[in-house]
Amino acid sequence: MSGALTATATARRAPAIALAHVARAYPGGVRALDDVSLTVEHGTFLAVMGPSGSGKSTLMHCAAGLDSPTAGSVRIDGREISGLNETRRTELRRERVGFVFQAYNLIPSLSVEDNITLPLRLAGRRPDREWLR
């Protein structure tokens, strides 16, 4: 019995994000991504760097489900997102993905607190006051 408990206790979680053989092509033959595979484990910090036009934003958009690859597989927490419709991808992003944009994309008419809690309100949930503080 202790062997079964040990095996369960040491079972690995699915990676936070896993891309396998991802490609993204645009009209006119532009290939922003070509056979990209990347695994990001939970708790990992990752910097994506490169020159302008090298596919950084396309990589991030595909990895987060903002855009769909033309080929390959994208998984968030082990869940394949490529086949999800836009509504399901939006719900998954709301629950599992966080963004920090270069320009912040804050809504000027909202307070800092309201900007932070906006995704929770859209999901019909109340923020934990201690967490928010």
Q: Which CATH number belongs to the domain containing residue 28 in this structure?
A: 3.40.50.300
Q: How many domains does the chain have?
A: 1
- Whether residue 54 lies inside any domain: the answer is yes
* The model's pTM: 0.74
pLDDT 10s digits, 41-99: 999 988 899 999 999 999 999 999 999 999 999 999 999 998 899 999 988 988 888 77
Burial group, residue 63, by CB count within 10 angstroms (0-12, 13-18, 19+) = buried
**What is the 8-class DSSP label of residue 11?**
P
Domain that holds residue 4: 1-84
Is the C-alpha dihedral spanning 121, 78, 41, 13 positive or negative? positive
**Chain centre to alpha carbon of residue 90:** 11
pLDDT band at residue 11 using 50, 70 and 90 as cut-offs: low
Does residue 10 fall inside a structural domain?
A: yes
Q: Has residue 132 been placed in a domain?
A: no
- Give the span between the Cα atoms of 60 and 6, in whole angstroms: 36
